[in-house]
Amino acid sequence: MLLIELFSSLKNEGIILNDTQRLQVMKYLSLLEEKNKVMDLTANDTREEMVEKNFYDSFMSAKLIPNNTLFLLDLGSGAGFPGILYAILYPKIHIVLLEPMRKRSLFLQECIDSLGLINCEVVSMRAEDYVKLHRESFDVVSARAVAKLSILLELALPLLKVQGKLIALKGPRLYEEEKEAQNAMNLLHVNKIKEEKFILPTNKEVRINALYLKNKKTEEKYPRLFAQIKKKPL
């Protein structure tokens, strides 16, 4: 997918970028391409793959962000998907990019500075540590390629306010992961309220973006230490 095709496809989906936002997207892509030569930021090597599998995929999930969102946290931001693109698309939402790997967090900061994203900040911490400082502080948490759902829920839900929402960017394994995560969903008082399924235009891979609602306050014992979460998911 070429950039001009990206902008056209997004327009067809009701996602319209102004000239400034388009320039920010192009600059971000250039930064990503340059840094990807020396860092393992994305497995998609060609520009066309990056645009379709990372940019288009991430922008499509932005349709799930509620209109009244003020504070959003992107969990495990990595190279900035979807958090950087959310920050470009919604300049009035304050966005935290939570990324524990120092090299990646430095790249994210470089992107923020270069693109002039004054609504965005990078925090280089693990979720289970960051939540000690900002428990139940966010309207929305997003996550792409972070962990299977049973693990993701325990990391994300304590960061959300009651009635906050989790956007999980997933593929066709989502339904299998949801079956495995039923106990976690019950314990953490969360349910799915919406999903959007689509196919990438060129390579025809299936993507499913799911929206989950947090119904009650999360018990203080969650999240556990990550070693415990990984060894024995809820």
The reported pTM is 0.95
What whole-number distance in Å separates Cα of residue 72 and Cα of residue 149? 19
Non-local (6+) Cβ contacts of 28 within 8 A are 80, 84, 85, 88, 111, 115
Question: For residue 126, which of 147, 150, 95 has the smallest C-alpha distance?
Answer: 147
Tokens of 56: 């288009």
Query: 121 near 136, Cβ under 8 Å?
Result: no
Question: For residue 124, which of 106, 136, 142 has the smallest C-alpha distance?
Answer: 106
Query: 169 near 145, Cβ under 8 Å?
Result: yes
Collapsing DSSP to helix, strand or coil, 222 comes out as: coil
Residues of the chain with pLDDT under 50: none
DSSP characters over 33-70 = HHHHTTS---S--SHHHIIIIIIIHHHHHGGGS-TT--
Q: For the segment 103-159, what is each residue's pLDDT rounded down to a tens digit? A: 999 999 999 999 999 999 999 999 999 999 999 999 999 999 899 999 999 999 999
Q: How many CB atoms lie within 10 A of CB 128?
A: 19
Q: Maximum distance among all alpha carbons in the chain?
A: 48
pLDDT of residue 203: 85
Would strands 206-214 and 120-123 be described as parallel, antiparallel, or unpaired? unpaired
Q: Which CATH number fits domain 3-231: 3.40.50.970, 3.40.50.720, 3.40.50.150, 2.40.50.100?
A: 3.40.50.150
Residue bearing tokens 């499913």: 208
CA distances from 155 to 75, 114, 120, 143, 213 (A): 9, 30, 21, 10, 15
What residues form DSSP beta bridges with 141? Answer: 73, 166
Exposure of 31 in the CB half-sphere (CA atoms within 13 A) = 20
pLDDT of residue 44: 62
Query: 207 near 171, Cβ under 8 Å?
Result: yes
pLDDT of residue 142: 98
